[in-house]
A and B are shown apart, each in its own frame.
Chain A
């Protein structure tokens, strides 16, 4: 059960009156606090009676098409790889070859372009995945159409007979969910509109046997991991 102050805050939130730091703090709590979620749900349910008083309008004929193209078509891979992907495949990152200094400066250029958000859609969330020694290993970007891309920041050794598997975790009870295998010959881009993209969601890459983890959950060593943040672009 929520206390009175929390209930009133939830009401203010549902009315749309909360702003600035108070709003950020409330949403941070709301993400984890079940009682607060219930309080918001309670207010929403009652106030939604007012939603029914709005006069409906006929959507323009193109609206659905726009929505459909924004959520992306399943199973379609970009025909023209964008700049980042070209750099990505040139880096030879997943082949485990060493590029040392050259790679580092290229990566910097890629990252700067990425942060400026030019020429590509704005990612909904970004996660910097770190290695065991806490150095940045790779960046994940997830987009509104459900696509995810990985940009390498260092080289990884993948022994023969093993493969890298990309995972995400947003619900501890559900456990990590496989996003896909990172095959040495494929681009590191995934189309998974079924997966959420939220703040504090965990992304990680583990080393698994060829074909992926036999259990459906990570079994091998973690190469990199990191938490998602909404970019301030």
Chain B
């Protein structure tokens, strides 16, 4: 566990006790990264900030439930941001997509999933294991995590039937599970 990881865990414990300065410290360090993560999913800066707002309220309320034995504080907090962003995406995608949204989505194709893979730290276990996957299957997994797409949206994006998309992802997860064990 790195020094900053220890700090995150300590700050979350302090939040659990009602220490607002600890939440502020987390905000100073991570709010920017969180907006970036949410924006990759919802594609709208304003909405990304709203999500980060809600995520901080949730972190504050649930900090006492964070269990360091189950993973780093950073991963725990970022999971809250991603879940909220994905929920927002599912809610808005039920509404009619405007032409603007489609343009934005097209632009973001370049800055989304593939780009994230390229930027993964050399030597990280995830990068090594993702490299072993067939490139199209790898993209399917990345579209889910990085852009928060559903099975159906991924199938449409990579142009395969829904059933194929689902089985690609399940098999990719099985392969990653072996590789990351």
5 A-B contacts (beta carbon < 8 Å):
A8-B174, A56-B33, A57-B48, A71-B20, A197-B61
Q: Does B127 contact A (CB under 8 A)?
A: yes
Q: Does B126 contact A (CB under 8 A)?
A: yes
Contacts of A53 in B (CB 8 A): 115-117, 119-120, 146
Query: Contact partner of A194 among B18, B71, B90, CB < 8 A?
Result: B18
Q: Does B124 contact A (CB under 8 A)?
A: yes
Please provide the chain B residues from 128 to 161 with a CB less than 8 Å away from any CB of chain A in the complex.
129, 141-142, 144-146, 148, 150-151
Q: Does B52 contact A (CB under 8 A)?
A: yes
* Chain B residues near A (Cβ < 8 Å): 16-18, 20, 23-24, 27, 31-33, 35-37, 39-40, 45, 48-49, 52-53, 56-57, 60-62, 64-65, 67, 70-72, 74-76, 78-79, 82-83, 86, 90, 111, 115-117, 119-121, 124-127, 129, 141-142, 144-146, 148, 150-151, 169-170, 173-174, 176-177, 180
Given contacts A44-B71, A63-B31, A64-B27, contact A54 B36 (CB under 8 A): yes
A22–B52 Cα distance when bound, in Å, is 26
Secondary structure dominating the interface of B: helix
Q: Which residue of A lies closest to B143 (CB)?
A: A15
Q: Which residue of B lies closest to A40 (CB)?
A: B70
Q: Report yes or no: A196 in contact with B62, Cβ–Cβ below 8 A.
A: yes
Query: Contact partner of B32 among A17, A57, A146, A193, CB < 8 A?
Result: A57
B173 to chain A, nearest CB (A): 4
A17–B141 Cα distance when bound, in Å, is 10
Secondary structure dominating the interface of A: helix
A230–B90 Cα distance when bound, in Å, is 20
Please provide the chain A residues from 195 to 221 with a CB less than 8 Å away from any CB of chain B in the complex.
195-198
Given contacts A17-B144, A49-B127, A51-B78, contact A67 B57 (CB under 8 A): yes
Contacts of B45 in A (CB 8 A): 57
* Chain A residues near B (Cβ < 8 Å): 4, 7-8, 11-12, 14-17, 19, 37-38, 40-42, 44-60, 63-64, 66-68, 70-71, 74, 124, 144-146, 193-198
Would you list the 4 A-B pairs with minimal beta carbon distance, nearest first? A54-B36, A41-B71, A56-B32, A41-B70
Given contacts A64-B27, A193-B61, contact A44 B150 (CB under 8 A): no
List 11 additional contacts besides A53-B117, A53-B119, A59-B35; criterion CB under 8 Å: A8-B173, A8-B174, A11-B173, A11-B176, A12-B170, A54-B36, A56-B36, A59-B32, A71-B20, A71-B56, A196-B61
Q: Report yes or no: B32 in contact with A194, Cβ–Cβ below 8 A.
A: no
Q: Report yes or no: A46 in contact with B145, Cβ–Cβ below 8 A.
A: no
Which of B75, B127, B150, B170: most chain A CB closer than 10 A? B75
